[in-house]
Structure formats: structure tokens, C-alpha cells
Amino acid sequence: MSFLKLWPLLFIVLLVVTGCRSSRSLRGERFVLVVDAGHGGNDQGAAGRRSLEKEVNLEVARRVCKLIRKQCRDVEIIQTRPDDEFVSLNDRAGMANFYRADLFISIHSNSARGWAEGTETFIHPSARGGRSERMARLIEQEYVKTGRESRGVKTANFAVLRNTRMPAVLTEIGFISNRSEERFMNSRKGQKRLARSISNAFIRYRRSVP
């Protein structure tokens, strides 16, 4: 068999062996991912009827880290706050810049005065068309796969998006002000599904960037 005929086979073997890795990790470089659980400490974020945003964000962020650690051994994960503590927005972005992160994912819960439901993921206005937008779209696609209502990808001049020097997204996992979404976001099943969506999006993102 000629070498040319072997190429497709080699490609399949590489995919199986590398799992969630990209060509970058094949060169021995570690991918640095920052997972940022929004709010914390005396900054509780939005409040639902029975839970606080800071708690939900942290639970989902922890699950995201766990899933990615399990599936992508070559990824170094940095949590801006592994516990219930206050970290300023500048420090969150500063941490990601200091460690020269490859990707920044901030996890938040939404709130509205009137009735609202669904997920939405933000990127900085200057990041349109780039890797941030790609990651944001993948996250929203993964939410939809699990039956969530997607409000789409949006732009906002949030500090953590503005001050980070790498692709960055801020995902709103649902409305804590909506009774049934709050229940979902506090349930083990809901948190697992949300975390799975974000980690699946991350794995697809890694495969798609060199």
C-alpha cells in the first residue's frame, strides 16, 4: 500500500490518540484556560428566590473544570476564584493576562425585572469575527442541544472582556429571576448539563484552533 493511501488511516489514529488536543498540544505546549466564576464574597451578584448568583456560578464553574480536567489532560486550568471569595474584575483579567491564558471563560447568571428565559453569551464588540465569537457560538450551540432556549451571541463592553488579552467570553447560563430556570440552575441535573455544554464547546473550540 502506498503512503498516500495510508494518510486517511493515520488521520483517524491521530484523532483517537489526541482526544481533545489540538496541534498546539502535539508540539508539547500546554493550553492555558481560565475559568472565571462571576461575583463572590460580598458581591453576591443577582438574587433569585432561593439562591444567589455567586453560588450557582461557582458550582457550574467547578463542574466545568472537573469535566475538562478529566477529558483534556494537557490543559492547564486556572480558576479566578475556587471558593466563595471576592476578586475584583481587574484582578480576574489581570490573572488571565499574567498566565498568558489561551482562553477566558466567565460564567454568570442572568436576571431581569420581567419574565425572561434562556442563555446568552457575550463577547467584546472588538472581538467580532474572531476566536471569541467562535467560542461563544459553540457554547450557545451546545446549550441548544440540551433543549435550552438560546438568546444568541451578543456584544458588551464588560471589564473582563475588555481587559483580557486573549479570546474571552462571558456566558449567562440562565435567568435566576425566572422561577423554573432558577430551579434548573440549582439542580444537580441542570448544573451537570450546563457544565457539559460549556466543556463540549471547549473541546470543539480546541479542535478548531491551531
Binding site for Zn ion (CB under 5 A): 38, 45, 108
* 59 given a catalytic annotation: no
Least separation, in Å, of the C-beta of 108 and Zn ion? 4
Least Cβ distance, residue 54 to Zn ion (angstroms): 8
CB of 110 to Zn ion, least distance (A): 8
- Name residue 169's amino acid: V
Q: What letter would DSSP give residue 146?
A: T
Q: Which of 133, 172, 181, 182 is catalytic?
A: 172
Query: How many of the other CB atoms lie within 10 Å of CB of 159?
Result: 14
Calculate ∠ Cα 173-122-67, nearest 5°.
Answer: 45
Identity of the residue, 108 or 137, whose beta carbon is nearer to Zn ion in the bound complex: 108
DSSP for 57-110 reads HHHHHHHHHHHHHHH-TTEEEEES-SSS----HHHHHHHHHHTT-SEEEEEEEE
What backbone phi and psi angles, to 5 degrees, belong to 118?
Answer: 110, 175
Question: Whose Cβ is closer to Zn ion: residue 53's or residue 102's?
Answer: 53
Cβ distance to Zn ion smaller for residue 45 or 167 = 45
Instruction: Quickly tell me which residue has 466564576 as its cell.
Output: 37
Joined grid coordinates for residue 188: 444537580
CB of residue 25 to Zn ion, shortest distance in Å: 32
88 vs 208 by CB, closer to Zn ion: 88
Active site residues: 172
